[in-house]
Amino acid sequence: MATDRIVGIDLGTTNSLVAFMQGESPVVIPGDDGLNLVPSVVALDEKNQPVIGNAARKYLTETPERAVYSIKRLMGRGIDDIQEELKFFPFRLAEDLQPGEVLRIKLGEKTFTPPEISALILRQLKRNAERFFGAPVTKAVITVPAYFNDAQRQATKDAGRIAGLEVLRLVNEPTAASLAYGLDKKQNGIIAVYDLGGGTFDVSILKLHDGIFEVIATNGDTHLGGDDIDNLLITIALDDTLGDLGLDLRHNDLRRNAEAVQAIRKAVIEAKIALSSQPSVKLDVELPGGKRYLREITREQFEQLIQPIIDRTVSPCKQALKDAGLKPEQIDEVVLVGGSTRIPKVRALVKELFHREPHIDLNPDEVVALGAAVQANILGGGSEATENMLLLDVTPLSLGIEVAGGVTDKIILRNSTIPASATQHYTTQIDGQANVAIHVLQGERELAKDCRSLARFDLKGIPAMAAGMARIEVKFLIDANGILHVSAREQRSGKESEIQVQPSYGLTDEQVEGMILDSFDSAEEDFRQRQLIEARNETATILAALDKGKKNPAWGHLTTDEKKKIAKMEKALAAVNGEDDYQAIRKAIDALNQGTTRLAELMMDSAVTSALKGKTMEEADMGEGPTAPHPMAKAEFE
Amino acid sequence: MTSLTEITGKPAPEETQSCWSCGTMRAVHFCEACGKVQPPAPVDYFTFFALPRKLNFDVAALEKDFYELSRKLHPDLNARANSQEQEWTLQQSSLLNDAYRTLKDPIKRTQYLLQLEGVELEEQSKTATERARSTGEIKKQIVPPDLLEEVFELNMQLEELRMHKKMGEDDPALIEEIGRQKLELEEKQEALLHELKDRWNMWDGMIQREQNGQPVSEEERKQERDKMVDLLNRRNYIRNLVRDVSEVLESS
C-alpha cells in the first residue's frame, strides 16, 4: 500500500510543496527543517553537490553564480521568448546555446536545462515525502498554471520523469485550489479562482455540481506575479542606490554585481511582505564597501507603484467572465490563491472585479498542494472524502493548424473540456507527392506567426497517387493533462504515414531518459541508502544536542536513575549507528528521544515549558529555527 | 516535446456485440454489467448520447447524461486500469466531450446535423463564391440582401471611426450611433436563431413522419436542409459583423 502512495506536488515559481491525503483530509508534508514550504531555489555547493530549498537560499547572496531561482519562468521556453526575463533575472545561460535549442543554465561551471533544475526541486519533495512515510514514493500529481501551454506542460512532465516520478496527472493550479476548497463545502454554484503567485497569474471559473468540478473558462498570464513586483522595487532601489552614492548611474558595476543585487532583492521582498501588514517600511541594505542604502516606503507609495502590475490581471478576469457567458453578479464565491493575494490592494481589486468579498479560509501558499493531494487521492481510487468528486478541466488555449497565407485555422477552441479531439483531412497538391508538412500552433491570434509554435511535423511515405487523391486523416487529441497527441492514417490505401516531429522547444525522449536522476529500478535501493544516511545524520544531531544538554543546569535536576538510563540509551545508539540496519538506528533514536523528553522540558525556560510539553530532545534543540509559514515573513525589516 | 502517438494503419475498432471483459451485451461506451470501458465504436454524436437525429431536445437532460457518462469514462476514474483500457478511456472521454460541446450549442448542433446529412457547409460557401465570381452576381448567401444597405452604411461609419481614432479625435455621437446599430444587429441575430428553431420543428416533424413509416421525398429533405443552411449563413454573417463592430468600439 505504501508503495502506491500518490503525492500531490505544487511546483511553484517561488515555493514548492508536497502534500498527501491523510485519512479524510489533505496535509502538507514538511521538509527536514520542519517547514512546509521548500523555496524553489537550487544551488551547487563547493563540492558541486546540489542544494535545494531553504539550505540553498544562502548561496543566492554568497555565491550567486552557483544558484538559481524562479526557474519555472524558463520551463518550455526558447531563447527568443525570454529576452524580457533576462533583463530582470540573473539567469546565466550557457554560452554555446544555439537558437531553437532547449535552454541551459549555468550553475558554477556545470549546465542544466530548466526541467533538470525543476527535477532537483521535485526530488527534494519526493525525499521529504519518503522520509515522512518511511517508504519510497514514485507516483505524483503535479500542478501547473492553468494558462501553461503545451511546451510548458511537457517540460513539467519531463521534470517529473527526471526526478524519478511517474506523473499521473498535471492539474491546473486554480482547479486544484477549488478541489481543496470544495472538499469541506459540498455545495453547488459558480466559483471564481483568482490565483496570483510568484510568477504566474490564472483565473478560472468553475461550476460545482454534486461533486463535479466543471471548469467553464480559464485565462491568465504565465509571466505575471510577485516576481514582477520584486523586480520593479529592485530597479527603483538600484536607481536610488546609485543616485544616493553619487556614482555613475547606469553603467556602474553594481548592476552587474550579483551579490549586491541579491541583497537588495532580499530586502525588497521583505519590505513587500511587511507592507501587507504595516503602513510603511524602511529599507536598510548593507552594500559592498561598507555603505548602506536607506529608504522609507509607505503603503500608499507601494500601492501606487504596483498598480500597473496588478491591473494586468483585470483583462484576463474580464475575458474569462465573457467566455463563461457570466456577469460578475452570477459568481457565487471568489477564492484567492497564491502568496501575492496577501497584498491588500490585490484583494481590493478582486472585490471590485467580482463584486464580492473574496474567500481566504485556506492558506493561499498551501491550497494548491492540498488540492493536488485531493486529485492524487481521486486517481488512486478515491476515499470517502473524495467520493463522487470529479474534475472536468479545459484547455486554456486554442489549438490550430497553419493554412495557406500563414493563417491559423483553429481546430480545438480554448475552454474546450479535455480530453478533446479534432480530426483534419489532408491531401496532396502534386502528383506522386510523398510528404505533407503540418505546423501545429497554440494561441488565439489570427496569424500563425503570432501564435505559439508547438511542433512542425511531416507526414511521410504517402503512397504515390495523383494530386488530391490521397486522403490523410490526422487526429489531434488533447489529453487530460492538456498535452497534445497526434496520429495519422492515409485512408485510401490504408497505408500508414510516418510522422516526424520537430518540437519547437523541448527535450526528446532520449534526452529525458539520459537525465533521469534516480532510475525506477534502483529507487528502492537508493531509498534505503538515503534513509540510512539521514538516520545517521539524525544520530549526530541528537548526540550533539545531548552533549549540550549535559552542560545545561537542567542536567543537574535529573535523578541518578534518569541519568543512568540516558547514558545506556546513548551507548546503545552509538553502537548501532555504525551498522547498516536502519530500523535499529531508528529505534535507538526514538528511544533516546523518548528518554530525554524530561531533560528537554527542563532545559526550556519555565515560561515556555507548558507550550513545549511533549517535545523531544531533537525538537527542543531545533526550536530556534524559523517557524513562520512564509520563509520570508519572519525577517523583520527596520 | 509534443507527445506523439502513432496509431497509424490500424483498422478502426470493430463493432462487437459483447463486452470484451465479461461477455455480456455491450453498450456504446461502457458495459452495463461490469462497468468496464469499451473500445470506441465509430458512432455519431447523436448515437453516442442515444438521441434520435432531431434538433429539439432537453439540454438539461443532455447535461445530466454528460455528467453521468463522465463519471464512467473520465481518465481520472480509470487511472488504475491497464494501458489498453486507459487508451480506450481517453478516446471515449474525448468523444464524449466533443459530442457534448457540439450538441449543447444550438448553432453547432445544427451545423453538425447538416454535415451528417451530407452538407459540406464550407464547401457550399466556396462554391457559392466561385459561382458568384463567374457570373458577376452578388453572393446571396454571404451578404443577405435585406441587410445590404445597412451593412454598407455601417462599414462607412466604422471606417470613419477608425480614421478619427488614428487622428486622436473623439466622436461620441458616432460611437453612440454605431452602438445603437450593434444592438439592432444583435436583435437580428437573436431573431434568426428563433427562425432557425422554427425550422428545427419542421425538420423534427419530418423525421418523425419518416419514423412513423411515411415516406419523405429527397426533395423535401433538401428543401429543409437548404433553409437551415441559408439561416446559418445569414446568422454567421451578422455574427462576424457584430464581432467587428465590438472590436472597433472596444478599441475606441
**Segment A601-613 mean pLDDT:** 55
Q: What is the pLDDT of residue B119?
A: 82
Task: Tell whether the model's pLDDT for residue A623 goes beyond 50.
Answer: no
> To the nearest whole number, what is the mean pLDDT of chain B?
78
Domain end call among B104, B127, B151: B104
Entry pTM: 0.80
| Domain shared by B172 and B97, yes or no | no
Mean pLDDT along residues A362-391: 91
Is residue A628 in some structural domain?
Answer: no
Residue A101, Cα to own-chain centre: how many angstroms?
23
Candidate from B3, B6, B76 with C-beta closest to A483: B3
Q: Is residue B240 domain-shared with residue B146, that is, in the same domain?
A: yes
Cα A63 from Cα A61, distance rounded (Å) = 6
Of the candidates B154, B174, B37, the residue with the CA atom closest to the CA atom of residue B94 = B37
Shortest CA distance from A415: residue in chain B: B101
Cα A397 to its chain centre, rounded Å, is 21
Q: How far apart are CA A393 and CA A141, in angstroms?
A: 15
Backbone angles phi, psi at A342, to 5 degrees: -75, -20
Q: What gap in Å lies between CA B219 and CA B225, rounded to an integer?
A: 10
Mean pLDDT of B182-204: 89
Which one is catalytic: A10, A202, A365, A490? A10
Asked if the structure places residue B231 within a domain, the reply is yes
Judgement on whether residues A212 and A244 belong to the same structural domain of the protein: no
Tell whether B146 and B245 lie within a shared domain.
yes
Q: Pick the range with the lowest mean pLDDT from A250-264, A450-464, A477-491, A536-550.
A: A250-264
Cβ contacts of B90 on chain A, cutoff 8 Å? 419, 477, 479-480
Q: Distances from the Cα of A295 to the Cαs of A288, A541, A637, in angstroms?
A: 17, 42, 12
Instruction: State the residue for C-alpha cell 521534470.
Output: A159
Per the domain annotation, does A267 fall within a domain? Answer: yes
Q: Are residues A105 and A154 in the same domain?
A: yes
The Cα–Cα gap between A589 and A569 comes to: 9
Residue B73's domain comprises 17-104
In angstroms, the Cα distances linking B36 to A381, B82, B94 are 15, 11, 17
Among the residue ranges A116-130, A515-529, B104-118, the one predicted with the least confidence is A515-529
Give catalytic status of residue A10 as yes or no: yes
Reply yes or no on whether the pLDDT at B82 is more than 90.
Answer: no
Statement to judge: residues B78 and B172 lie in one domain:
no
- At what angle are helices B83-104 and B59-73 packed, to 10 degrees? 170
Total beta-carbon pairs less than 8 A apart between chain A and chain B:
112
Sequence letter at residue A221? D
Those residues whose C-beta lies under 8 Å from the C-beta of residue A538, and which sit 6 or more positions away, are: A589, A618
For position A394, what pLDDT does the model report? 95
Residue A410, domain CATH: 2.60.34.10
The answer as to whether A627 is a domain residue is no
Last residue of a domain, one of A310, A328, A356: A310
What residues make up the domain containing A18? Answer: 2-224+312-392
Is residue B151 exposed (0-12), middle (13-18) or buried (19+ Cβ within 10 Å)?
middle
Measured in residues, chain B has a length of: 252
pLDDT band at A495 (very low <50, low <70, confident <90, very high): low
Structural domains of chain A, count = 4
Look at residue B55 and tell me if it is in a domain. yes
Residue A480 located in a structural domain: yes
Q: Among the three residues A353, A375, A392, which one is the final residue of a domain in this structure?
A: A392
% of chain B beyond a pLDDT of 90: 19
Domain-embedded: residue B216: yes
Please identify which residue in the block is written with the cell numbers 463486452.
B19
Q: Given A150, A195, A270, A618, which residue is catalytic?
A: A195
Distance in angstroms (rounded) separating the CA atoms of residues B89 and B29: 9
Is residue A516 assigned to a domain?
A: no
Catalytic-residue membership of A387: no
A157, closest residue in chain B (CA to CA):
B1
Binary contact (B74, A496; C-beta < 8 A): no
Q: Choose among A120, A111, A2, A6: nearest CA to A52.
A: A120
10 Å Cβ neighbour count for A165?
A: 28
Nearest CA in chain B to A472: B8
* Residues A297 and A349 occupy one common structural domain: no
The larger pLDDT score, comparing residue A86 to residue B195, is at: B195
**Given A212, A478, A501, which is nearest B70 (Cβ)?**
A212
Together in a domain, A160 and A68 = yes
CA diameter of chain B: 75
Distance (Å) from the alpha carbon of B205 to chain A's nearest alpha carbon:
32
C-alpha distance from A615 to closest chain B C-alpha (Å):
41
- Bigger pLDDT: A271 vs A449: A271
A290 and A334 co-located in one domain:
no
Catalytic residue among A150, A173, A221, A365: A173
Does residue A159 carry a pLDDT above 50? yes
Share of chain A above pLDDT 90, in %: 41
Answer whether residue A113 shows pLDDT above 80: yes
Task: Give the Cα separation of A572 and A579 in Å (integer).
Answer: 12
- Among candidates A169, A380, A420 on the partner chain, residue whose Cβ is nearest the Cβ of B97: A420
Same domain for B83 and B143, yes or no, is: no
Q: What's the helix, strand, coil split of chain A in %, to 5?
A: 40, 25, 35
> A interface mutation test: which of B67, B68, B76 has the most A CBs within 10 A?
B76
Is B40 within 8 Å of B13 (Cβ atoms)? Answer: yes
CB contact under 8 Å between B94 and A420, yes or no, is: yes
- What is the per-residue pLDDT across A497-540, written as a single tens digit (0 to 9) for each? 556 555 666 777 778 777 777 544 455 666 777 778 778 888 88
Q: Do A417 and B80 touch (CB under 8 A)?
A: no
Region for A382 from its dihedrals, namely left if φ exceeds 0, alpha if ψ lies in -120 to 50, beta otherwise: left
> A194 with A358: CB under 8 angstroms?
yes
Residue with cell 480545438: A412
Q: Does B74 score more than 50 pLDDT?
A: yes
pLDDT tops 90 at residue A593 = no
Residue A492: closest C-alpha in chain B = B9
Same domain, B195 and B239: yes
Contact between residue A150 and residue A484 where contact means Cβ atoms under 8 Å apart: yes
* Nearest chain A Cα distance for residue B89, angstroms: 10
- In chain A, residues with a C-beta closer than 8 Å to the C-beta of B2 are 150-151, 154, 440, 454-455, 483-484, 486, 501, 503, 506
B213 to chain A, closest Cα gap in Å: 35
> Both A340 and A382 in a single domain?
yes
The pLDDT of residue A636 is above 50: no
Report the CATH number that the domain containing residue B82 is assigned in CATH: 1.10.287.110
The 8-class DSSP code of residue A97 comes to: P
The whole-angstrom distance between A219's CA and the closest CA on chain B is: 19
Q: What's the N-to-C CA distance of chain A in angstroms?
A: 51
pLDDT grade for A186, boundaries at 50, 70 and 90: low
The helix, strand and coil proportions of chain B, stated in percent and rounded to the nearest 5, come to 65, 0, 30
Question: Which CATH number fits the domain that encloses residue A197?
Answer: 3.30.420.40
- In terms of average pLDDT, the best of A138-142, A577-581, B82-86 is A138-142
Instruction: Examine the domain organization and report whether A444 and A485 are in the same domain.
Output: yes
**Cβ contact A487–B5 (<8 Å):** yes
Q: Name the one residue in this structure whose C-alpha cell is 511515405.
A: A461
Say which residue, A435 or A54, is predicted with more confidence: A54
Whether B247 and B155 map to the same domain: the answer is yes
CA distance A399 to A484: 9
Q: Chain B: which residues have CB within 8 Å of chain A?
A: 1-11, 67, 70-71, 74-77, 79-80, 90-91, 93-95, 97-98, 100-101
Does residue B59 form part of some domain?
yes
Task: With respect to residue A167, please indicate whether it lies within any of the assigned structural domains.
Answer: yes
Q: Are residues B78 and B165 in the same domain?
A: no
d(CA A276, CA A270): 10
Q: Using 50, 70 and 90 to split pLDDT, how confident is the model at B80?
A: confident
Sign of torsion over alpha carbons B60, B63, B65, B67:
negative
- For residue B19, give every residue at least 6 positions away whose Cβ sits within 8 Å of its Cβ, in sequence order, or none: B25, B26, B31, B33, B34, B36, B38
Is the per-residue pLDDT at A64 higher than 90? no
Residue B60 Cα distances to B43, B63, B103, angstroms: 22, 5, 12
Test B90 with A419 for CB contact under 8 angstroms: yes
* Domain end among A392, A422, A453: A392
If asked whether residues A51 and A198 sit together in one domain, one would say yes
| pLDDT score at B42 | 78
In a domain, B53, yes or no: yes
Q: How much is the pLDDT for A633?
A: 27
In B, minimum Cα distance to A494 occurs at B9
**CA–CA min distance B106, chain A (Å):** 15
Predicted ipTM > 0.85: no
Please name which of A251, A249, A201, A254 lies closest in space to residue A228, comparing C-alpha atoms: A201
Q: Examine the domain organization and report whether A126 and A173 are in the same domain.
A: yes
Same domain, A181 and A298: no
Q: In the structure, what pLDDT confidence band is assigned to residue B24 with cuts at 50, 70 and 90?
A: low
A26-30, A368-372, B122-126, B171-175: least confident range: B122-126
The reply to whether A631 falls in a domain is no
| Whether residue B234 is found in the same domain as residue B181 | yes
Query: What pLDDT does residue A494 have?
Result: 67
Nearest CA in chain B to A421: B94
Q: Please tell me the distance from the alpha carbon of residue A209 to that of residue A431, in angstroms, as a whole number.
A: 55
Within a domain: A638: no
Catalytic site includes residue A458? no
- Which has more confidence, A157 or A425? A157
B70 close to A390: Cβ distance less than 8 angstroms: yes
**Structural domain total, chain B:** 2
* Mean pLDDT of the residues in chain A: 83
For an interface test with B, give the residue of A485, A490, A499 to mutate (most B CBs within 10 A).
A485
Query: Do residue A506 and residue B2 have CB atoms under 8 angstroms apart?
Result: yes
Which CATH number belongs to the domain containing residue A547 in this structure?
A: 1.20.1270.10
Name which of B8, B76, B91 is nearest A480 (Cβ-Cβ). B76
Can you tell me the distance from the alpha carbon of A637 to that of A95, in angstroms, rounded to the nearest whole number? 38
**Same domain assignment for residues B153 and B240:** yes
User: Which candidate, B28, B43, B46, places its Cα nearest to that of B204?
Assistant: B46
What is the tens place of the pLDDT at every residue in A421-444?
Answer: 998 887 777 888 888 888 888 888
The full DSSP string for A400-436 is EEEEGGGEEEEEE-TT-BSSEEEEEEE--SSTT---E
Pairwise pLDDT comparison (A445 vs A247), residue with the higher score: A445
State whether B9 and A494 contact (CB < 8 Å): yes
Do A410 and A465 share a structural domain? yes
Q: Is residue B3 part of a domain?
A: no
B87/B170 same-domain check? no
Q: Which of B176, B186, B20 is nearest to B88 (CA)?
A: B20
Domain-embedded: residue B131: no
Residue in chain A lying closest to B102 (CA):
A416
Last residue of a domain, one of B83, B104, B125: B104
What contacts A298, CB < 8 A, 6 or more positions away?
Answer: A279, A280
The mean pLDDT of A190-197, rounded to a whole number, is 94
Distance from CA of B44 to the nearest CA of A (A): 14
CB of A408 closer than 8 Å to CB of A445: yes
Is residue B96 within 8 A of residue B69, CB to CB? The reply is yes
CA-wise closest residue to B3 among A392, A509, A184: A509
Query: In this structure, are A483 and A341 located in the same domain?
Result: no
User: Which chain B positions have a beta carbon within 8 Å of A489's beta carbon?
Assistant: 7-10
Q: With contacts defined as CB-CB under 8 Å, which chain A residues touch B1? A: 154, 455, 501, 503, 506-509
Residue B5 vs residue B155, higher pLDDT: B155
Do residues B44 and B149 both lie within one domain?
A: no
